[in-house]
Chains A and B, each alone.
Chain A
Amino acid sequence: MHDLGGVSKFMCVAVDTEPHALTGFDKEVDAIRQILGAKQVMSVDELRRAIEAIPEADYHRLSYYQRWLRAITDTLLRKGVLTEAELRVALPADAP
């Protein structure tokens, strides 16, 4: 799914060449990834592996940095750097 070279279903899809400014959300996720890499909490290869593990339906529904956020969180949970319970407690109050 991530190994996209020459994949037929995209061969007739136009490329959106317009600039898209990154949002604050995008830049924060990007910065967190860099910090976790520099501190050797998780490597870029672990990020890629976790992105590749996102189910296809979710993969195409999520934006680029939404995928990163999900992959970072998934990796940190799997490695025991943080726990699901810690994240739930920290979710903003209005979250379902």
Chain B
Amino acid sequence: MSVLAADSVNLLAALRAVLAAKGIAGPEEIAGQIRSTDEASPAQGARMVAKAWTDPAFRALMLEDGTRAAESLGIPMRGLPPLGVLEDRPEAHHLVVCTLCSCYPRAVLGYPPFWYKSASYRARAVRDPRGLLLEWGTVLPAGVKLTVVDSTADYRWMVLPLRPAATAGWSEAKLAAIVREGDMIGVTIPLAS
């Protein structure tokens, strides 16, 4: 029987031991990688969205080059795939999926959520996107066209959603607090609450 059929927990232990013995990846290095990965979270993307809502120059930069916009806020992007930003407009909504695997803008949103990696999300997003949005209770207003972005190759995509109408005068920090993970993938729409 192939060693690949071993119990996963045991196989991981064996792999870690061999990688450490060969000097490829030691326990401290793995722990450090986990720590730096854990620092990326939807709060990073939310900061970018809130700044774009309040600062037209940043908004222009973010739409032109998401990677540089993220770096300008101190978000580490070196060695990561380029970040593209999809601008929602009153008549145009975007939804991001990766039908081939689970490509996700991890630098600005963190680990992909369970639903994003699920077979049903990946299958339905491109074929029945409006039905899929109902899973989140999201109904697009009449007249809004939907563009589904299949993240198939070398870019990673996030959505710059519309700023809710009832947020006039809000600070950047208060705006960032209402932006959720799903708002930046397009399954939900930011709410002023």
Contacts and interface: CB of A to CB of B under 8 A. Distances in A.
Interface string B1-38: 01110111111111111110110110001110110011
Please classify how large the interface on chain B is, using the bins under 10, 10 to 19, 20 to 34, 35 or more. Answer: 35 or more
Contacts of B63: none
B interface SS class: helix
A87 B15 contact: yes
Nearest to A76: B15
Contact of B135 (A9, A17, A28, A81): A17
Contact of B2 (A27, A48, A84): A84
B185 to A, nearest CB: 12
B6 A91 contact: yes
Contacts of A30: 34, 37, 111
Shortest 4 CB-CB contacts between residues of A and residues of B: A5-B99, A10-B123, A6-B127, A31-B33
Interface of B: 2-4, 6-19, 21-22, 24-25, 29-31, 33-34, 37-38, 79, 97, 99-102, 111, 113-115, 117-128, 132, 135-136, 150
Interface of A: 2-7, 9-11, 13-20, 22, 25, 27-32, 34-36, 38-39, 41, 48, 51, 62-64, 66, 69-70, 72-74, 76-77, 81-82, 84, 86-88, 90-92, 94-96
